Chains A and B, each alone.
Chain A
Amino acid sequence: DSGVTQTPKHLITATGQRVTLRCSPRSGDLSVYWYQQSLDQGLQFLIQYYNGEERAKGNILERFSAQQFPDLHSELNLSSLELGDSALYFCASSLGTAPNSPLHFGNGTRLTVT
């Protein structure tokens, strides 16, 4: 158990809808990262937060947004969903932002858009 909790585990929704994925980082970790894993794109970095502030942005679509709250949990909001958004969404956390600070991954949220 990595200590990173993601909810829900599975989500099925229709095109055009909006969903929110939630992540609770490991106790003591201040950084949260979001990744998307799909068959055609592999594992893609979306966005990183550190202690409530956005630190790095990757291949995140404008339809997607995220935030980290004062209690350090994070939410990834996906709107105007398309079939191609179906993927496994991972959250990871680390103590800080240093590259030698290991990332601990949650079990992911499987999103299916129909």
Chain B
Amino acid sequence: AQTVTQSQPEMSVQEAETVTLSCTYDTSESDYYLFWYKQPPSRQMILVIRQEAYKQQNATENRFSVNFQKAAKSFSLKISDSQLGDAAMYFCAYRSAYAGGTSYGKLTFGQGTILTVHP
């Protein structure tokens, strides 16, 4: 079974600075998708960024970018020019791409990292 580990329970950053959230995962599969979700106090889960394992290029969405290291099974999220609205719990998630497998379709989440943004 796949597992996702976020080793940083809490992180903090000053407004306008850059912060990196870590995520590692364990899988024997070669084809999968990785995601970062944000959960603000409103508790809704919001998709931040997505990475396909077969793509070597790191995904970028405005101020959010990832560092995907497939061999190391590492998937970190970098938030540049941090804003107060970025304060939230961030979850790393894995999704298998193998149809018919027991893990197909479901998202496996890490434990989450609480990000605090200081003005």
Which residues of A are in contact with B by a Cβ distance under 8 Å? 2, 31, 33, 35, 42-43, 45, 48, 55-56, 58, 88, 90, 92, 97, 99-100, 102-108
Alpha-carbon distance between A45 and B46 when the two chains are bound, in angstroms: 17
Alpha-carbon distance between A43 and B91 when the two chains are bound, in angstroms: 9
Which residue of B45, B95, B97, B112 is within 8 Å of A90 (Cβ)?
B45
Given contacts A33-B106, A56-B106, contact A107 B52 (CB under 8 A): no
Interface status of B84 (Cβ within 8 A of chain A): no
B112 close to A42 (CB less than 8 A): yes
* A103 proximity list for chain B (CB < 8 A): 47, 107
8 chain-A/chain-B pairs, Cβ below 8 angstroms:
A35-B107, A42-B112, A45-B108, A56-B106, A58-B106, A99-B33, A103-B107, A105-B46
* A88 proximity list for chain B (CB < 8 A): 43
Interface status of B32 (Cβ within 8 A of chain A): yes
Interface status of B74 (Cβ within 8 A of chain A): no
Task: Write the B99-111 contact mask toward A (1 if CB under 8 angstroms, else 0).
Answer: 0001111111111
* A108 proximity list for chain B (CB < 8 A): 43-44
